[in-house]
Amino acid sequence: MTAPPMAEAVPVAAPTGLRRTLSSLRHDLPALISITLLVLLALAAILAPILAPHPPLQTYPEGLAANGAPIGPGHGFPLGTDPNGRDVLARLLYGARVSLVIGILANGLATIVGVIVGLVAGYLGGWVETILMRLTDVVMSFPILLFCIALISVTGPSERNVVIVIALIYWTTLARIIRSQVLSLREREFVVAARTMGLSHWRIMRKHLFPHLVPTIIVYATLGVASSILIEASLSFLGVGVPVPTASWGQMIEQGKEYFQIAPWLLFAPGVCLVLTVLAFNLAGDWLRDLLDPTAPERR
Amino acid sequence: MSVVTVQDLTVRYPRRGAFRKVELTAVDAVSFAIEAGRTLGLAGESGSGKSSVARALMRVHDPASGSVQVAGREVTTLRGGALRTFRAHMQMVFQDPYDSLNPRLTAGENVGEALTAAGVPRPDQVSRTRELFERVGLPAAFTGRYPHQLSGGQRQRVSIARALAVGPQVLVCDEAVSALDVSVRAQILNLLKDLQEADGLAYLFISHDMSTLRFIADDVAIMYQGRIVELGTSAEVFARPKHPYTRALLAAIPEPGAGRRHRRGVVRGEAPPVDAVLTGCAFAPRCPLATEICRVERPALVADAAGHRTACHHADAVPAEATAEGSAA
């Protein structure tokens, strides 16, 4: 937001004050738990170099049993080791970084694209809308994983490509939601007024439409992070995601799956983290939706 | 000299039929003119096309055909940047004071948006906004308030200030006081009158409320089913209504005191659906005076010696008093 032209503008209780946010958290146990989880997760990812007992890529001969099998939790490796003798906890912490960064970046990109497409299509209408929304339909009609695998097999697996590919398919839902909101917003009298006073399209979209879309955007961006993390995990699990030896949760599951009978911690550690993270993002998204838009009906 | 001249304005809305596109004619060949410093009142029931006229004039919805000239320039053919620039000549005050201001901007910022549109540089906007607030009778301190902190009347004043910000010659007021309390309504109407006197603004004042129009309008046009059925000076139309529909509207004004007996029941039933295909006079099915010709031939808008126009086959045939009792006919 640009600085208001009125110098003495008194600050007023915004629709979502900090106090209301906190009190709403206090009355909503799932939200409180999910926000706590997300904070812990972020801390774990950020502090990975400090928290991790070992470097994530280091292989330890003493981390393998005499027969070459990974060893379980304990013995200097809190969550055990993987078949290469690497510390699972360290990989988990560093994997959180990869998963979170990819999830947030990919979904951030998708959100930007979705908002622009939806806003422009809904506001301008006409042939612009037809082209943009048909494009949205086309992208939506692709099977997500198949589309990602096809794209990555062309571009080659790398963290950057995973982000781009996820963003390329994930903007569509938000584009549709934003467009439908804009369609109803543009008939509101203050938007019609903005048009009749001769403001530019750009300014109308920026100052008279966008601020009213922010609650929706925040909610769907939050929910979308969970989906993006899941896709990243799926892609890594399928071997077209984050390339080895970098740790990501999906890839840890992929590598651990062959050993799950003798070393179940290889699956459980990243699996539990994945489930909790996705759950936390979803619950936080639900909570934000209720917080920012108390009158809106339930919708997904 | 007319600031606004509307010729044969027709507005259609597309409706999606099951298999083909159906169009709904909301405004059908409407013509009128407004002179500088004068107010044309546009009356009619819901769905009569009043707001569609306003929206077409403001180029919110493009008219299907017809011509709209404002300050000597054809508005209907303007596009893009030329249209944006031209919008400064014509502004609108909306009906709903709770929806017409952007709730995320302060009152002052709302007015500032119009100043931005008018090309007023940012440093000058604060002082200009204060001036405008003063003109519409609001304290300058209100510039920092958000719309939800203002009353309906105050919001409508902000709307008027915003409309005036670009220096228009024509103000379209679409039910601008309908949502207000009666006492506040009078204040806003007086404000509009004062502004008109000071600036020589031309008003197109749309209202379904005849007593409001009697107060503010110099000329009155009555719309029914997308057409103007009666058009004349306010004095003429209120004193000598010729169209049976106008008479019915006037009879519906509540009169305080027992001085005049209230006559009702002149118009029966409801307006036909807007998409009904009618031959003849659109009012015929509800009209107490309707005869065979009304159902066959559509009456033209014909002026009498005083310039009072009426679209009714029986406009001159029946005096006002007889019509009022004519529900038995």
Classify B77 as helix, strand or coil. coil
**pLDDT score at B315:** 77
Per the CB < 8 A criterion, the answer to whether A98 and A158 are in contact is no
**By C-alpha distance, which of B126, B43, B174 is closest to A196?**
B174
In the predicted structure, residue B176 carries a pLDDT above the cut 60: yes
CA distance A184 to A191: 10
In the predicted structure, residue B204 carries a pLDDT above the cut 80: yes
**pLDDT score at A246:** 78
What confidence tier does B282 reach under pLDDT thresholds 50, 70, 90? confident
Q: Which residues contact A127 (CB under 8 A, 6 or more apart)?
A: none
Q: List chain B residues with CB under 8 Å of A209.
A: none
Helix axes A88-124, A126-141, angle to 10 degrees: 150
Is this structure's pTM higher than 0.80? no
Looking up tokens 């600031």 gives: B3
Establish if B101 touches chain A: CB-CB under 8 angstroms.
yes
Output DSSP code: residue B149.
G
Q: List chain A residues with CB under 8 Å of B143.
A: 6, 8-9
Per the CB < 8 A criterion, the answer to whether B181 and B196 are in contact is no
Taking any CB pair shorter than 8 Å as contact, residues of chain A touching chain B are: 4-10, 12, 188-190, 192-200, 203, 207-208, 211-212
Which tokens hold the place of A125? 């209408």
CA distance A10 to A4: 11
CA distance A149 to B144: 54
**pLDDT score at A220:** 85
What confidence tier does B261 reach under pLDDT thresholds 50, 70, 90? low
Question: How do the pLDDT tens digits run along chain A, 300 residues long?
Answer: 444 343 333 333 444 567 777 777 777 788 888 888 888 888 888 887 777 777 777 777 776 766 767 776 777 777 777 777 788 788 888 888 888 888 889 999 999 999 999 999 999 988 999 999 999 999 989 888 888 888 888 888 888 888 898 898 889 999 999 999 999 999 899 999 999 988 999 999 999 999 889 888 888 888 888 788 888 888 888 878 777 777 888 778 877 778 878 888 888 888 888 888 888 888 888 888 777 754 444 333
Task: Identify any residues that bridge with B92 across adjacent strands, giving them in sequence order.
Answer: B172
Dihedral sign of CA atoms A247, A250, A254, A257 in order: positive
Q: List chain A residues with CB under 8 Å of B87.
A: 196-198
**By C-alpha distance, which of A214, A222, A225, A123 is closest to B104?**
A214
Q: Are strands B65-70 and B73-74 parallel, antiparallel or unpaired?
A: antiparallel
Task: Identify any residues that bridge with A81 across adjacent strands, giving them in sequence order.
Answer: A87
In the predicted structure, residue B263 carries a pLDDT above the cut 60: no
**pLDDT score at B326:** 40
Inter-chain CB pairs, A–B, below 8 Å? 95
Span B108-118, average pLDDT: 92
Which tokens hold the place of B44? 């009619």
Per the CB < 8 A criterion, the answer to whether B42 and B48 are in contact is no
CA distance B158 to B152: 10
Contact criterion met (CB < 8 Å) for A5 and B122: yes
Contact criterion met (CB < 8 Å) for A207 and B91: no
Which contacts of A135-142 are long-range, i.e. CB under 8 A and separated by 24 or more positions? Answer: A136/A172, A136/A175, A136/A176, A139/A168, A139/A169, A139/A171, A139/A172, A140/A172, A140/A173, A142/A169
Backbone φ and ψ for A199, nearest 5 degrees, come out as -70, 155
Q: List chain A residues with CB under 8 Å of B100.
A: 189-190, 193
Which tokens hold the place of B196? 């008109």
Name the B residues in 1-60 with CB < 8 Å from any A CB.
58-60
Pick the most confident of A34-38, B111-115, B176-180: B111-115
In the predicted structure, residue B203 carries a pLDDT above the cut 90: yes
Asked whether the bond before A245 is cis by omega within 30 degrees of 0, the reply is yes
Neighbours of A199 (CB within 10 A): 23
Min Cα separation B210/chain A (Å): 24
User: In this predicted model, which residue has the larger pLDDT, B21 or A211?
Assistant: A211
Contact criterion met (CB < 8 Å) for B109 and A4: yes
**pLDDT score at B281:** 85
Min Cα separation A220/chain B (Å): 21
**pLDDT score at B40:** 94
Q: Which helix (H) or strand (E) holds B14?
A: strand B2-16
In the predicted structure, residue B158 carries a pLDDT above the cut 80: yes
pLDDT digits (tens, 9 = 90+) for B208-240: 888 899 999 999 999 988 889 999 999 888 888
Q: Could you say which of A8, A192, A198 has the minimum Cβ distance to residue B84?
A: A198
In the predicted structure, residue B259 carries a pLDDT above the cut 60: no
Task: Identify any residues that bridge with B15 across adjacent strands, giving them in sequence order.
Answer: B22
In the predicted structure, residue B312 carries a pLDDT above the cut 70: yes
Span B267-294, average pLDDT: 75
**pLDDT score at B274:** 63
Contact criterion met (CB < 8 Å) for B100 and A193: yes
Nearest residue in B to A4, CA atom:
B109
**pLDDT score at B264:** 52
Contact criterion met (CB < 8 Å) for A8 and B144: yes
Backbone φ and ψ for A36, nearest 5 degrees, come out as -60, -45
Establish if B144 touches chain A: CB-CB under 8 angstroms.
yes
Span B236-248, average pLDDT: 87
Min Cα separation A82/chain B (Å): 54
Per the CB < 8 A criterion, the answer to whether B106 and B143 are in contact is yes
Q: Give residue B63's Cα distance to chain centre.
A: 16
In the predicted structure, residue B316 carries a pLDDT above the cut 50: yes
Classify B42 as helix, strand or coil. strand
Which tokens hold the place of A142? 């692709």
Q: What is the mean pLDDT of chain B?
A: 85
Dihedral sign of CA atoms A7, A13, A15, A17 in order: positive
Looking up tokens 């009190």 gives: A23
Q: Which residues contact A207 (CB under 8 A, 6 or more apart)?
A: A194, A199, B102, B105, B113
CA distance B240 to B310: 11
Looking up tokens 């950020």 gives: A46
Which tokens hold the place of B79? 């596009």
Contact criterion met (CB < 8 Å) for B108 and A5: yes
Establish if B178 touches chain A: CB-CB under 8 angstroms.
no
**By C-alpha distance, which of B39, B33, B34, B73 is closest to B195?**
B39
Q: B73 to each of A57, B27, B163, how far by Cα in Å? A: 75, 22, 20
Q: B86 to each of A28, A33, A198, B8, B204, how far by Cα in Å? A: 53, 56, 8, 21, 18
Establish if B113 touches chain A: CB-CB under 8 angstroms.
yes
Backbone φ and ψ for B25, nearest 5 degrees, come out as -90, 110
CA distance B6 to A125: 28
**pLDDT score at B170:** 93
Q: Which of B58, B75, B85, B104 should we substitute to test contact with A (largest number of A Cβ atoms within 10 Å)?
A: B104
CA distance A136 to B198: 54
What confidence tier does B278 reach under pLDDT thresholds 50, 70, 90? low
Per the CB < 8 A criterion, the answer to whether B227 and B274 are in contact is no
Q: List chain A residues with CB under 8 Å of B78.
A: none
Show the 3-state SS of chain A. Answer: CCCCCCCCCCCCCCCCCHHHHHHHHHCCHHHHHHHHHHHHHHHHHHCHHHHCCCCCCCCCHHHECCCCCECCCECCECCCECCCCCEHHHHHHHHHHHHHHHHHHHHHHHHHHHHHHHHHHHHHCHHHHHHHHHHHHHHHHCCHHHHHHHHHHHHCCCHHHHHHHHHHHHCHHHHHHHHHHHHHHCCCHHHHHHHHCCCCHHHHHHHHHHHHHHHHHHHHHHHHHHHHHHHHHHHHHCCCCCCCCCCCHHHHHHHHHHHCCCCCHHHHHHHHHHHHHHHHHHHHHHHHHHHHCCCCCCCC
How much is the ipTM here?
0.84
**pLDDT score at B67:** 92
Residue B208's identity, in one-letter code, is: H
Considering only CA atoms, give the Rg of chain A: 23
